[in-house]
Chain A
Amino acid sequence: MATTALTPTSETYRRSWVIEWLTTVDHKKIGILYIVNSFAFFFAAGILALLVRSELAVPGLQFLDERTYNQAFTMHGTIMIFLFVVPVLSGFANYIVPLQIGAPDMAFPRINALSFWFLPLGGLLIFSGYLFGGAAAEGWTLYTPLSGGKFSTGVGTDLWLIGLLLVGTASILGSINFIATIFKMRAPGMTLFRMPILVWTVLVTATLILLATPVLAAGMIALFIDRNYGGSFFDPNTGGNPILWQHLFWFFGHPEVYIVILPAMGVVSEILPVFTRRPLFGYRAFVHATIAIGLLSFSVWAHHMFTTGQVFMPFFSFMTALIAVPTGVKMFNWLATLWRGSIILATPMLFALGFLSMFLIGGISGVMLSAPPIDFHLQDTYFVVAHLHYVFFGGSVFGVFAATYYWFPKMTGRRLNEPLGKVHFWMHFIGFNLAFFPQHILGIQGMPRRVADYSPDAGWTLLNLMSTAGAVLIAASVLPFLVNVVATFINGERVGDDPWEGNTLEWATSSPPPAHNFDKLPPIRSERPVFDLRHRHDAERVSVAKVEDQ
């Protein structure tokens, strides 16, 4: 009897998997919860997008009345940005960042769980407007005075504010957690300039969230007071100024754009080196460019407000155009990484290349909009809708899918089916361009955004029809993706711990990793410790050859 004592898995310690997932503080499980939750909101907001596109396919009101249409595009934008793109990237960061820096978990595991659980709650509150007389219908930017108590009487707008405050609080908590983790939890040898690029982008992103989100939170609280307790922050009739809301919103809103694009850039910068078998060209330059983008992002917010006539345009125009410089440096570094590489077109790489080519278009249209005289024509038209989708969807969402295909084997030990993945990519890529490229032309021809209907005489019908067809194709592309995820999860190919021949530490442990992440770590002597480990004999051979040369 004396020999039975030393087994750690005693009967009393076992919990049902439901309780386990609901109460987990493991960053990997929380990361997966983030990702699954975000995709659920992605599909919901995607259905809203289909409603919007169906209504716009031809002139006239066919499916929705104006109010319902306005609710649909408001909810689509809000949910996609605040409950899909931001949290899904946080989810991947949650899963991957501790692994990439050789840490056993995030710095504050319980706060990590808290900041996740605020998300479904906040999201459902935002959606619950539909149950109480109608969701918010003022656009995701919620401009005052339209969103004030006088013009938006429904409780949907209040629910929007409360829900988004929760989501914002979650972001702030999460960002503090990331910053603490990255600064304090790195494994021995993991100096700042050996951190993987994804970790750098998450660090800068977390800093942006920490500095920008409280400003939006303050604005939302002020608006809530205006609506419910007779405040006069934004009401011009009582001495307030509606433009103040735009300043507060965009002081958050523009860093927000980089909050969603920087981690996606990080993902792409992880994937390109692996699938070209080359180090990321200009690692240090890339880090500096990331920091520069972060800093500049706080000085450009009023480029959303050129047509208000209430801002000093040359300054904001100049700073906006200036962001093209660090972004251009990044693009050149990515291109140089491809150059003379050994490229293999697996699905994660396809999505990463998709990111490069689509984000480029969003970048170019962004520079065009930075010129105030051009912005006077294009602001609030479909050109802006196209531009923001090329950044958010063509950029971030391509990055999200790249990350999904790349790290799925890490999370499950199984690789998503490659042929199905390629079908998904091409449907997605073609659908995306069909849906959003024509919107540039619509905007240039003068079609305003956020309209439920347009005149049949305006000449916008064909392009709108194309755009709707593209949206349907994007929706259809979800099918091979979902089939792939479910089928692989149940019965996919088991591919071992490191199927892609990765560079960074997450590939130095088992797939999926144990609860404590690492049994042992390889020596960390560069930003690619696992690559160094794999090729240590090559290095020895090279040094032997060098010795022989002498």
Chain B
Amino acid sequence: MSRPMARPRTRSFLRAGALLALVLLATACGMVPPEPHTTEAKEVFWLYNVILVMGGIVFVAVEGFIVYSVLRYRRRDDRLPTQIHGNNLVELIWTAIPTVIVLILFVLSTLTLNSVSQASTHPGVTIEVEGKQWSWVFHYLDDDGDPSNDVIVQGTALDGAVMAVPVGEPVKLILISNDVIHSFYVPAFLVKRDVVPLPEAKKPNELEFTVTEKGTYSGQCAEFCGDLHARMTFSVQAMARPDFDAWTAAIRAGETPAPSVPAGGGVLKVSAKNTAFDTKALEAAAGQPFKIEFTNDDSFDHNVGIWNGSEELFRGEIFSGPATKTYDVSGLPAGDYTFVCDVHPAMTGTLTVK
């Protein structure tokens, strides 16, 4: 009786098993971190994968045991199974197993920790990183004792600051904050370090890494720091030493792409109150730069952004009121645009350019 029944059942079990294996495999691929791009990250990557494999083995063994037991030992009759209350030898063995695993893990992770926390005596570049609500400031420290010629890169909540670093040289960051706690995090470097406002007597946190490949790596604040935490982004550009020197020289010479827009098209006035704009329609001349004087009468954040369909052409600084700020907008081609508060997408109006 049971044999012809058993076959299709076995087959469907196999099929389900194969599907499960596929899902597990796909998942396992997702569980591997991004490709590491610093010498320190490569060590962490190795440690992570060792621990992931150990965890994976434990996972498959235990879940497998549960599923097997449930299938194999389902209640089939009313007999009482053997009443086993325990076994001291077995308890001893399965206390020893996790102890050994944990000790191996601890030794490996402490070795890696010591290795990645080593500070070099002569870093290629030292940058004082200031995190503030909600942007980053990168201040390249030099030894000439004259702060007026220092390279300082200031980001905004809308336009993250860029940190250029030379490839293959240790980069030392000194992490300071004067408001709340932030955290400097670059996923491709597999590291973050909190940027803590500490009392003066305490030494600020430091972080060191050596980037191994040229490229642009995005980063952002990882410690929740208030309203616009999600927009506190930056990027690290790793380049060859000559390019890096050219980059700093250009900034020293004042060639930073500062957005200065000569205003010729007049000033448009908009204000926001109770999460609504006071006007639904604005007009501007085509091709002429103009200013928007935006008054925020609410005690929370608003701004004015100009959108063409789903593309944002201009985004004014977000700020909380009551306050007024003037935005410089470069000339737009003729057409109908919408102006929107990017914080409250329901606040909209039409900007007609002709």
Contact = CB atoms under 8 A, between A and B. Distances in A.
Nearest to B86: A282
Nearest to B58: A364
Contacts of A242: 181, 196-198
A243 interface: yes
A285 B66 CA distance: 20
Interface string B260-293: 0000000000000000000000000000000000
Given A282-B87, A307-B193, A454-B230, A145 B73 contact: no
Interface string A130-161: 00000001110001011000010000000000
Interface string B180-205: 11010101101111101111001001
A36 interface: no
B19 to A, nearest CB: 14
A437 to B, nearest CB: 7
Interface string A53-78: 00000000110011100100000000
Contacts of B43: 373
Interface in A298-354: 307-310, 313-314, 317-318, 321-322, 324-325, 327-329, 331-333, 335-336, 338-345, 353
B3 interface: no
B63 A329 contact: no
A533 to B, nearest CB: 14
Nearest to A240: B199
Nearest to A446: B187
A241 interface: yes
A365 B31 CA distance: 11
Nearest to A457: B218
Given A65-B343, A377-B187, A372 B113 contact: yes
A518 interface: no
B223 interface: yes
Interface in A267-283: 276-279, 281-283
A277 B81 contact: yes
A189 interface: no
Interface stretch (A18-26, A207-215, A258-266, A355-363): A355-363
Interface in B29-86: 30-34, 43-44, 47-48, 51-52, 55, 58-59, 62-63, 65-66, 69-70, 73-76, 79-86
Where chain B touches its partner, the secondary structure class is mixed
B315 interface: no
Contacts of B80: 277, 342, 535, 538
Nearest to A152: B226
A445 B34 contact: yes
B265 to A, nearest CB: 29
Interface residues of A, number: 93
A497 B80 CA distance: 21
Contact of A379 (B85, B101, B222): B222
Contacts, number: 273
A496 interface: no
A361 to B, nearest CB: 7
Nearest to A381: B222
A67 B275 CA distance: 13
A453 B343 CA distance: 11
B267 to A, nearest CB: 27
B319 interface: no
A376 interface: yes
Given A307-B183, A360-B63, A441-B30, A336 B90 contact: yes
A244 to B, nearest CB: 10
A276 to B, nearest CB: 7
A111 interface: no
Contacts of A341: 69, 73, 81
B214 interface: no
A146 B79 CA distance: 62
A8 interface: no
Contacts of A428: none
B230 A332 contact: no
Contact of A332 (B59, B94, B190, B223): B94
19 contacts: A62-B345, A66-B227, A143-B180, A146-B180, A236-B198, A242-B196, A278-B81, A279-B83, A307-B192, A307-B193, A322-B102, A325-B102, A333-B91, A361-B59, A371-B47, A377-B44, A380-B185, A445-B33, A448-B220
Interface of A: 61-62, 65-67, 70, 137-139, 143, 145-146, 151, 236-237, 239-243, 276-279, 281-285, 307-310, 313-314, 317-318, 321-322, 324-325, 327-329, 331-333, 335-336, 338-345, 353, 356-357, 360-361, 364-365, 367-368, 370-374, 376-377, 379-381, 437, 440-441, 444-446, 448-455, 458, 535, 538
